A and B are shown apart, each in its own frame.
Chain A
Amino acid sequence: MNDLVATIIAKYNYWIYITLMMAGLYAMIAKNNLVKKIVGMNIFQTAIILFYVSIGVKKGATIPILEHAHGHGHDAHQAVHATDYINPLPHVLMLTAIVVGVATLGVALALAIRIYNTYHTLEEDEILAQIREE
Chain B
Amino acid sequence: MIWQIDLAILTLVVITAGGALMVKDLLGAAILFGAYSFMMCALWSIMGAVDVAFTEASVGAGVSAVFFVAAVFRTTRRTKD
Residue positions of A touching B, CB distance < 8 A: 12-13, 16, 19-20, 23-24, 27, 31-33, 35-36, 39-40, 42-43, 46, 49-50, 53-54, 56-57, 59, 61-65, 86, 90-91, 94-95, 98-99, 101-102, 105-106, 109, 112-113, 116, 121-123
Contacts and interface: CB of A to CB of B under 8 A. Distances in A.
Nearest to B56: A98
Given A46-B37, A59-B1, A123-B80, 11 more contacts: A23-B18, A33-B79, A35-B26, A43-B33, A46-B36, A50-B43, A57-B47, A101-B59, A105-B68, A112-B71, A122-B79
Given A35-B79, A57-B47, A94-B52, A113 B59 contact: no
A92 B68 CA distance: 26
B10 A116 contact: no
A90 B47 CA distance: 12
A20 B18 CA distance: 9
Contacts of B35: none
A39 B33 contact: yes
Contact of B59 (A43, A65, A99, A123): A99
Contacts of B51: 91, 95
A53 B59 contact: no
Contact of A31 (B1, B59, B81): B81
28 contacts: A12-B7, A13-B6, A27-B21, A35-B26, A35-B71, A35-B75, A35-B79, A36-B21, A36-B26, A39-B29, A39-B33, A43-B20, A46-B40, A49-B52, A50-B40, A50-B43, A64-B48, A86-B48, A86-B49, A90-B49, A91-B52, A95-B52, A102-B59, A102-B60, A106-B67, A113-B74, A123-B79, A123-B81
